[in-house]
Amino acid sequence: MRTNKYMFLGMTQSTLIHVFLMGMALTCLFPIFWMIRCALMSNDTVFVDQAIIPHHLNFSNFATAWIKGNFAIFFLNSVIYTVCVVTGIVIISSLAAFAFSRLNFPGKNFIFYLFVAAMMIPLPGSFVALFVLMNKLHLANTRFGYILCMINVGLSMSILLLKTFFDKMPHELEDAARIDGCGKLGIWWNMAMPFARPAIAVIVIFNSLNVWNEYILATLLLEDTKLMPLQRGLVVFQGANSTDYPVLMAGLTMAAIPIIIIYLTMQKHIVKGISGEVVG
């Protein structure tokens, strides 16, 4: 009798937990589903047809957004910015982290703590001064200027992460490479970089998400439609066509899907990256 009662209690408890978790999972997924659903409707049906699966599917919104809504340009720009910034961050931060970990020069510790301090101090309003500076340097409204600014955003964090990784690299590896005739650059490229692959994976993923989703600097620095990334383009499009919801939803889908796919394929690294940094 007793065991039965406990089994029953255990079962209702686990059902309740599942209902709770499932409810939240649905709340997370529904808006994304709704976005895709509305992207597949036409301007005539989107306001009146509230069926979960629409009666008529319409794929032309994606083409409209891509060609007439300039999303081809926005998408290409986002790809260019993400690739350039992430490559830049990986190379520049790994060079610096390698020097901080393995090489000696005067002022090394001071410079390193400068980067650490920068990570601790949130600077929500420095974009005002950055905007002034970029205009003075004639880098406002250029791809190059935006890329440099975004490299700076990810730099401190990546240097810190890579330095802790390089510190763990065994000295024998380095010595062996030196005997084989590798210079400092050779050791960095042939030994340190492959050794730090897990850390580099984390850096690549988080910075890709960050650059792809960035909005504030893109708004401040890029006025030319030809230079705008997706996030900025979406707001511009919405401002110009505030009632064309199906095409807007098609644009949102194009901005969201790549990031969701990257997330799903890299999901393990992301969880490891977050929990490793905070807990472990």
Partner 1 sequence: MDSKAKAVSILKNNFQNFLFVLPALSIFCVFYIYPFYKMINLSFYDWRGIGPMNFIGLHNYKELLGDHLWWNSMLHAGYITLIALTFQNALAFALALACDREIRMKRFYRVVFFIPPVLSEIVVGLIWNWILNPGMQNGQYIGFLNHLLFASGFPQLVHNWLGDPKTALTTIAIVHSWKGFGWGFIILLAGLQTIDKQLYEAAKVDGAGARKTFTHVTLPLMWPVMLVVMILTILGSMQVFILIVAMVNEGLVNHTDVPVTCIFSAMENTNRFGYACAQAVIFGFMLVCISFIMKRLSDRAKQG
137 to 176, contacts with partner 1 by CB under 8 A? 148-149, 151-152, 155-156, 159
Q: Which of 62, 74, 75, 98 binds partner 1 (CB under 8 A)?
A: 98
Length of the chain: 280
Whether residue 27 contacts residue 33, with contact meaning beta carbons closer than 8 Å, is answered with: no
Q: Which of 61, 77, 207, 231 binds partner 1 (CB under 8 A)?
A: 231
Q: What is the DSSP string of 14-78?
A: HHHHHHHHHHHHHHHHHHHHHHHHHHTS-TTTTTT---SS-SS---HHHHHHHHTT-HHHHHHHH
Please state the closest distance from residue 63 (CB atom) to partner 1, in A.
20
Q: What's the chain's Rg over C-alpha atoms?
A: 24
Query: How far apart are the C-alpha atoms of 236 and 239, rounded to whole Å?
Result: 5
Residue 46 Ramachandran class (φ > 0 left, ψ -120 to 50 alpha, else beta): alpha
Q: Which of 170, 216, 226, 240 binds partner 1 (CB under 8 A)?
A: 216
Q: Which of 40, 96, 202, 203 binds partner 1 (CB under 8 A)?
A: 96
Asked if 11 is part of the footprint of partner 1 (rule: CB under 8 A), the reply reads: no
Q: What is the DSSP letter of 189?
A: I
Please state the closest distance from residue 103 (CB atom) to partner 1, in A.
4
Asked if 12 is part of the footprint of partner 1 (rule: CB under 8 A), the reply reads: no
Q: Which of 66, 74, 75, 100 binds partner 1 (CB under 8 A)?
A: 100
CA quadruple 270, 274, 277, 280: dihedral, nearest 10: -100
Sequence-separated (6 or more) residues with CB below 8 Å from residue 194: none
Please state the closest distance from residue 121 (CB atom) to partner 1, in A.
6
Residues in 235-274 at the binding interface with partner 1, rule: CB under 8 A: 235, 238-239, 245, 248-249, 252, 255-256, 259-260, 263-264, 267, 270-271, 274
Q: Which of 86, 95, 187, 228 binds partner 1 (CB under 8 A)?
A: 95
Please state the closest distance from residue 138 (CB atom) to partner 1, in A.
14
CA quadruple 259, 263, 266, 270: dihedral, nearest 10: 120
Please state the closest distance from residue 179 (CB atom) to partner 1, in A.
18
Asked if 32 is part of the footprint of partner 1 (rule: CB under 8 A), the reply reads: yes
Q: Which of 130, 203, 221, 247 binds partner 1 (CB under 8 A)?
A: 130
Cα-based distances in Å from 149 to 44, 134, 142, 222: 43, 9, 11, 12
Residue with tokens 């020069």: 105
Residues in 51-90 at the binding interface with partner 1, rule: CB under 8 A: none
| Phi/psi of residue 225, nearest 5 degrees | -55, -35
Please state the closest distance from residue 257 (CB atom) to partner 1, in A.
10
How many residues sit close enough to partner 1 to count as binding (CB under 8 A)? Answer: 85
